[in-house]
Chains A and B, each alone.
Chain A
C-alpha cells in the first residue's frame, strides 16, 4: 500500500479552497463517493469517459436530489454528449436513464458543472450505483507534434487530472486510461499498467472534497485520423408512391490530424500501400448502410467518384468510399452519397388510422467523427400533416416548413433538425409521426392529369380559332 500513501500525501497538499466550488449551490447535501472508477477510452480519435460511482448520502438530514460533475472549463467545452443512468442489477437489464444537463447557472469561466437529477432523490443513508458517460469531440485530444513526415505516425496528447475532483469526497478512486498503441510513457508515472500495455491505472486514491487537480498526461500513438465534418446534411425523402426512402448525405470534412512535414511525395504514398494504417492518412471512409439499400451513388461537386467498393455483410452493406485524393492533416474534402431503401423498413402505419410513424437514425456512425454542425432534413409527402418529432437528445434547432420539388403543387412537408457538436453517440433513432390520408396520395396523379387536360383543351380551342385579320 505504498502507492496508496503516496497518493494521500499528494492529496493533502491540496487545500480545500472555497473558491473552486463557490459556483455550486450552497448547502449541498453531503454525498460520499464510496467507490469511483473512471474509465478513459482513447482508442478512438475522440475521447470517452465513463464513470461508475457508488454514492452514499452521508448527510443524515436532507435527501439529495442532484449529483454534480465538475470539469475544467476548457476541456468541458468539448463535451458533446453526456448520459447518466442507474447501474442495472443485471447487465442485460434495461438502463434507467437519469436526466443530465449542463448547469449553466453554476458554471463559470474556470469550471463547468453537469447536473444529474436523482429521481427519486437519495434519502440519507441510502446508496446509489450511478453511472455516467461523457463523450468529447476529437479536439479534446491534442495532436502533438502538429506535423510529421509523410511516413511517420501521429501522436496524440491527453491531459487531465490524476483523479476526479468535485464537491464530494471519495474513499477510493481509480482512473483507467485505455489507449490504442504504446510508444510514449505517461507522466507522472501511472500506478499500474496491464500486461498488454494497453491500459494504465491511476489510483486507487483517497480524495477529499474539493481537492485540487494533479495534472497528468498521456502521449500515445494513434493513427486513426481525427476527422471533423464541418458541415453535414442528411436528407431523407419519404415517398409513399414509390414505397421508397431516399437518403442523401452531404459532407464537408477536414482531416484535423498531423499535417505532412515537408513535401507530399507520391512515391512514398505508393510505397506505403500495405502499411497505410501506420500513418494518419485518410484514404478511405468506411460507411455502414442498411443491407436493404440499393441504387447507391457517391459523388462530389465535380462529378462521380469512381473509386468506391461495396461489400454486403449480413444486415449491413459496407461501403468504402475513397476520397478523390488521400487526406493528410489540414486537408479538406467534400462529397455526398445516397441510396434508396424500402419504406417498409422504417415506416409503420398505426392500425386503423391514417397516422404513420417513421423511425430513422439521426446519423450513420463513421470512424468516430466529430460533426461541427449536422442538419437532418426529412421530406414527408405532400399533404402530410400533424407532424410530431421525438428525438432522444436535445437538438439545437427544429424547424418546420415546405419544400417544392418534382411534380408538387403546394410543396412537401419538411422538417429540419439541427445539432451542433455531434458525435457517434448521437446516432440514435429519431421518431416522426404524421397523418397522411388517401386523398393526399392522389394529389400527384390528379395534378398531372389536370395539367395535361389543360394543355389538350387549350390546343383543341386554339386549333379551332381563326386569328387572322383579313378573311382569306
Chain B
C-alpha cells in the first residue's frame, strides 16, 4: 500500500476481502472431508458421480446417447435425455483441464470439491448483485453471509455433489447480469445474462423459478409505470436468446413453449412487444385517439391471448401444471395424490425453527434490508423485493426451497447491516477529506465484526448529541459486532454438527473419545460388487438405487429418479406381500438379490421398517390387494412385536429384517433398538431365499432368491418337505 493512491488502496482491500470471503466459504465446507474422507455423500450425488465418471471415461456424444440398462430394470433409462447435464459437464471440463495442465487428479476428488469451489464463486456473484443494489460495502457483507449461511451450506458441503451446489452460483450470476442489463439497457448484458441462464438451465430444474421471477420483475415494472427502453431491450434479448438456448438441453426440449410453467415468461415477452409498439404509435399520434386505440387493442389482445392459452391447454398443446407444482400451492396435495413425493422428507413444509436454524440473525435482518430497498426504489430494488416475497413463500412450503431463499436473505441482510454501519460507524466530521472516508468505509467493511475498534480510534472533535454521539454509536456497533460474531459461531456449529455427515458413513465415539466408524453400507455394497454376477439384479427400496448403482455397479429395479410410480409400487408390493406371493412378483421382475436396511441391532432409525408404511401406501395406490390397515396391530398402532398383525409378520420386509435376529439374544429377549420393543422369539423361516450377506452391524442384509424347485413344487412346500426329511433322518439316527 506504500505508494498506491487511496482509490487503489480501496480496490486492493476490496479484492483481498472478497478473496478472503471466498476462501472462507470454501474452507467452511470441508468439515466432512477432514473428519471422514473425500467421499461422495447421500443418495443423489452418487448418481451424479456415476454419470460424471461415465462422461470422463467416454465422450460427450456417447454421454448424450447413453442408455443405462443398470437402472429401472427391465425398462432402463435414457440418461442423456433425462438429466440436467451442466454439473457433469462442468466437472469433467475441470477434470480435463487439470489433466491437460499435468495434474492427474482423481475424478472423485473433482466431484467432491465442486460444491465448495462454486460456493466461493457464489460469494463473489452475491457480492456483485448486492453491489448493483447498494454498494460494495453491502456487497462484501452479503458475500460473507452467503459464504457461511447454513441454509446454503446444507446443500454444498464437500462431497455433496449435487445440482444445487453449483446452481445457486449460476442463479446469482444470472441475476447480477439481469440487473446490469436492466440498469444499462444494454443488449450485450441481456445476451450475457441469457448465456448465464442457459448454464443454469443446463444444471438445475429450479431454473423455473428464475424464468418466472424475471418476467414478474418486468411485469411489476410495467404496472409501476417504470417501463422503459432499457427494460424492453434487456428483456427482449434475454428472453429470446435464453429460451432458444435453453431448448438445446434435451431434457428441456420444447417445454419453454409447451408447459404452463413457462407461459408467464412468454406472455410477458408478448406484452413487452405490444407496449413498446404502443409507445411507438403514441409518439406519432394525437393523445385522444391514442387512448381509445390503447384501451381497445390492449383489452382485446389480452383477452385473445388468454383464450388462446386456455384453448391450447385444453387441446393438450400446452401441458397443465404438474403435480409437483400443485404441491407448492396446496401443501396437502401431495399427501393425497402423490404419496411418492410426500414420502421424501425434504418435500415437507418448513417448520419455523428450521428457518432460524439455517439463517439465524439474518432472519431478522432480512425484512430490514427489504425495507431499505423500499426507501430507495429503483428498478433493481423492485427485483430484490419480488425475489424476497416469492422465495419466502416457497421456502415456507417446502423445506428444500430454503435454499433459494438464502441468497436473497443474505443480500437483504447485507444491505441492512451496511446501512447501519454506514450510519453508526461513519465518523462524520465535516472537515474530513473524501478520500479518508472511502478508506475507512472499506476498512469497516473488511473488518466486519471487529470494526468497533476502528470506530473508537477516531476522536470526536465537537460532540454531537443524541443517537449521533460516539457513545451511542459505540453501543450500536458493539451490539451488531456481537451479533455478527454469534452468527459466524452459529454457522460453524451448525455446519460441523448437522450438515457435514456423509450419511453413508456413520460415526460414533467410544467412551475414551476415539472415533468409531460404522461403515456397513459400503461394506455390503462392495460385497455386492465383488461377489455377485456382473448382471445380477438387486431389488431394494428406491432410496438405495443410486447408491447401489454407484457403489456396487449392479443393476437395480428402482432408484431415486422416481419417474415410474407403478414400478416402485411393484417393489412395494413384493416387500409387503407374504413370501409365496412376493416370490412370484420378484420372479416376474427377474430379481436375483434383495437388499434391506435393518437398524434393529444398532439402533439406526432410517431403516426400512420405519419407511415401510410408505412402501405399503405407494403399493396400495396401484395394487389394491395391499391395504394399509392390515399392517397395523389390533390397537391401531404400527408394531413389530408380538402384537403385530399377521399380515405384518408374514410380509417379506418383516421377515428379511428380523431373520435370525433372535439367535443373537438369549431366549425370548430379541430386542429392536430402533422401535424399543421386543421382537417375537419364534424362528423366522425363509423358504424362497437364502441369506448371503449381513453387514457387521446388521444394517444391510442381502438375500439371494432360490431357483424354482426342480419338481415344480412351490418353494414353501419344498422347504417343508426337506425340513421333514431332515427331522426324520435325525430321528432314525438316534435309535
From the candidates B519, B522, B692, name the one contacting A264 in the complex (CB within 8 A): B692
Question: Which partner residue on chain B sits nearest A300 by CB separation?
Answer: B526
Given A267-B663, A302-B526, A406-B102, residue A324 in contact with residue B519 (CB < 8 A): yes
Check if B103 sits within 8 Å of A406, measured CB to CB.
Answer: yes
Are A264 and B531 neighbours in the complex by a CB distance under 8 Å? no
Q: Which of B110-145 contact A (CB under 8 A)?
A: none
Chain A nearest CB from B520 CB (Å) reads 10
Once bound together, how far apart are the Cα atoms of A223 and B500, in whole Å? 43
User: Which among B517, B525, B529, B660 is the interface contact of A266 at CB below 8 angstroms?
Assistant: B660
Q: Whole-angstrom distance from the CB of A145 to the nearest CB of chain B?
A: 19
Contact of B694 among A264, A405, A406 (CB under 8 A): A264
CB distance A333 to B530 under 8 Å? yes
Majority SS at the chain A contact face: loop
- What is the bound-complex CA distance between A262 and B690, given in angstroms? 8
Please give the distance in Å from B502's CB to the nearest CB on chain A.
Answer: 9
A325 to B527, CA, bound (A): 7
| Cβ–Cβ contact B517 & A306, under 8 A | yes
Contact with A along B637-663 (1 / 0, CB 8 A): 000000000000000000000001001
Question: Is A408's CB within 8 Å of the partner chain B?
Answer: yes
Q: Residue A192 at the B interface, CB < 8 A?
A: no
B102 pairs with A408, CB closer than 8 A: yes
Are B692 and A325 within 8 A (Cβ)?
A: no
Min C-beta distance of A252 to chain B, whole Å: 9
- In A301-353, the 8 Å CB interface with B consists of 301-307, 324-325, 330-334
B199 within 8 A of A: no
A265 at the interface (CB under 8 A from B): yes
Q: Which of A266, A267, A409 has the most CB of B within 10 A?
A: A266
Distance of A331 Cα from B660 Cα, bound (Å)? 23
B39 touches A303 (CB 8 A): yes
Let me know if A397 is at the binding interface, CB within 8 A.
no
Q: Is the CB of A306 within 8 A of B519?
A: yes
Report whether B691 and A264 are in contact in the complex, using a CB–CB cutoff of 8 Å. yes
Residue of A nearest to B515 (CB): A306
Task: Across the interface, name the chain A residue whose C-beta is closest to B523.
Answer: A324
Q: Shortest beta-carbon distance, A402 to chain B, in Å? A: 13
Q: Give the distance in Å from the alpha carbon of A66 to the alpha carbon of B47 in the complex.
A: 64
- Does A304 contact B102, Cβ atoms closer than 8 Å? no
B698 at the interface (CB under 8 A from A): yes
Min CB distance B203 to A, Å, is: 26
Q: Contact between A405 and B102 (Cβ–Cβ < 8 Å)?
A: yes
A89 CB–B CB distance under 8 Å: no
Do A331 and B530 touch across chains, with their CB atoms under 8 A apart? yes
Q: Mark A257-285, 1 if CB is under 8 A from B, else 0.
A: 00000111111001000000000000000
A263-B526 contact given A306-B517, A406-B103, A406-B104, CB 8 Å threshold: no
| Residues 461-516 of B contacting A (Cβ, < 8 Å) | 505
By a CB distance below 8 angstroms, the chain B residues around A304 are 36-37, 39
CB <8 Å contact, A331 and B102 = no
Whether A263 pairs with B692 at a CB distance below 8 angstroms is yes
Shortest distance from the beta carbon of B510 to any chain A beta carbon, whole Å:
13
Q: Which chain A residues lie closer than 8 Å to B526 at the CB level?
A: 300-302, 324-325, 333
Q: Do A302 and B525 touch across chains, with their CB atoms under 8 A apart?
A: yes
Chain B contacts of A300 at CB under 8 A? 526
Chain B's closest residue to A409 (CB) is B102
Q: How far is the CB of B517 from chain A (nearest CB, A)?
A: 4
Determine the residue in chain B with the shortest Cβ distance to A328.
B531
Measured CA separation A325–B532 after assembly (Å)? 14
User: Is A332 within 8 A of B531, CB to CB?
Assistant: yes
Residue with the greatest number of chain B CB neighbours at <10 A, chosen from A300, A302, A333: A302
* Docked-complex contact B522 and A302, CB < 8 angstroms: yes
Find out whether the CB atom of A267 lies under 8 angstroms from the CB atom of B660: yes
Question: Main SS of the interface on chain B?
Answer: mixed
Shortest Cβ gap from B11 to chain A (Å): 14
The residue in chain B whose Cβ has the minimal distance to the Cβ of A302 is B551
Q: Please indicate the chain A residues that have their CB under 8 angstroms from the CB of B691 in the complex.
A: 263-266
A14 at interface by CB-CB < 8 Å: no
Question: In the complex, what residues of B have CB within 8 A of residue A95's CB?
Answer: none
> Which residue in A262, A265, A270, A331 is a CB contact (below 8 Å) of B531?
A331
Say yes or no: is B344 at the interface (Cβ < 8 Å to chain A): no
- A404 sits at the interface (CB 8 A): yes
Whether, in the assembled complex, A17 has its beta carbon less than 8 Å from a beta carbon of chain B, the answer is no
- Tell me if B664 counts as interface (CB < 8 A to partner A): yes
Question: Contacts of B530 on A, CB cut-off 8 Å?
Answer: 331-334
Binary A-proximity of B23-42 (CB < 8 A = 1, otherwise 0): 00000000000001101000
Chain B positions within 8 Å of A406 at CB level = 102-104
**Contact at A405–B104, with CB atoms within 8 Å?**
yes
Interface hub of A301, A305, A325, A409 (most chain B Cβ within 10 A): A325
Are B39 and A264 in touch, CB under 8 angstroms?
A: no
| A349 CB to nearest B CB, Å | 28
A332: which B residues are within 8 A, CB to CB? Answer: 530-531
**Distance in Å: Cβ of B408 to nearest Cβ of chain A:** 35
Separation of A265 and B691 alpha carbons in the complex (Å)? 7
CB of B722 to closest CB in A, whole Å: 12
A303 near B692: Cβ-Cβ < 8 Å: no
Residues 617-644 of B contacting A (Cβ, < 8 Å): none
**Docked-complex contact B694 and A266, CB < 8 angstroms:** yes
B290 beta carbon closer than 8 Å to chain A: no
- B66 CB-CB contact with A under 8 Å: no
In the assembled complex, A97 has its CB within 8 A of some CB on chain B: no
Q: In the complex, what residue of chain B is closest to A266 when comparing beta carbons?
A: B694
Kindly state the separation between the CA atoms of A472 and B522 in the bound complex, as whole angstroms. 63
A214 to chain B: closest CB distance in Å?
Answer: 39
Bound complex: CA of A267 vs CA of B701, how far in Å? 13
What is the chain A residue whose CB lies nearest that of B550? A302
Using A303-B39, A331-B531, A332-B530 as known contacts, say yes or no to A264 and B693 having CB atoms under 8 A apart: yes
Docked complex: A235-264 residues within 8 A CB-CB of B: 262-264
Q: Does A391 contact B (CB under 8 A)?
A: no
Query: CB of A427 within 8 A of chain B?
Result: no
Tell me if A407 is interfacial: C-beta within 8 Å of chain B. yes
- CB proximity of B295 to chain A, nearest CB, Å: 43
From residue 389 to 447 of chain B, which have CB atoms closer than 8 A to chain A?
none
Partner of A267, one of B104, B522, B664: B664
Query: 1/0 per residue B513-554: CB within 8 Å of A?
Result: 000010100111111011100000000000000000001000
Bound-complex Cα distance A262 to B726 (A): 15
Instruction: Name which residue of chain B comes closest to A267, CB basis.
Output: B663
**Residues of A with C-beta under 8 A to B104:** 404-406
Within 8 Å CB of A325, what residues of B? Answer: 523-524, 526-527, 693, 695
Give every chain B residue within 8 A of A307 (Cβ-Cβ): 517, 519
Which residues of B, 674-725, contact A by the 8 Å Cβ criterion? Answer: 690-695, 698
How close is A70's CB to chain B, nearest CB, in angstroms?
Answer: 41
From A303, A331, A406, A407, residue with most partner B Cβ within 10 Å: A303
Select the residue from B523, B525, B664 with max chain A CB neighbours within 10 A: B523
Asked if residues A265 and B693 are in contact (CB atoms below 8 Å), the reply is no
In the bound complex, CA of A407 to CA of B99 (Å): 10
What residues of chain B lie closer than 8 Å to A302, measured between beta carbons? 522, 525-526, 529, 551
Residue of B nearest to A335 (CB): B526
State A303–B41 Cα separation when bound (angstroms): 12
Please indicate the chain B residues that have their CB under 8 angstroms from the CB of A266 in the complex: 660, 691, 694-695, 698
**Pick from B522, B664, B698: contact of A303, CB under 8 Å:** B522
- Chain B: minimal CB distance from A310 (Å): 14
Chain A residues near B694 (CB-CB < 8 A): 264, 266
Query: Which residues in A have their C-beta under 8 angstroms from that of B525?
Result: 302
Interface residue ranges, B against A (CB under 8 Å):
36-37, 39, 102-104, 505, 517, 519, 522-527, 529-531, 551, 660, 663-664, 690-695, 698
In the A-B complex, list the 5 residue pairs whose CB atoms are closest, starting with the nearest: A266-B694, A306-B517, A304-B37, A332-B530, A267-B663
**Beyond A267-B664, A304-B37, A406-B103: 17 further Cβ-contacts under 8 Å?**
A263-B692, A264-B694, A266-B691, A266-B694, A266-B698, A302-B526, A302-B529, A304-B39, A305-B519, A324-B523, A324-B526, A325-B527, A331-B527, A332-B530, A404-B102, A404-B104, A406-B102
**6 A-B contacts, Cβ less than 8 Å apart?**
A264-B692, A267-B660, A267-B664, A300-B526, A301-B529, A302-B526
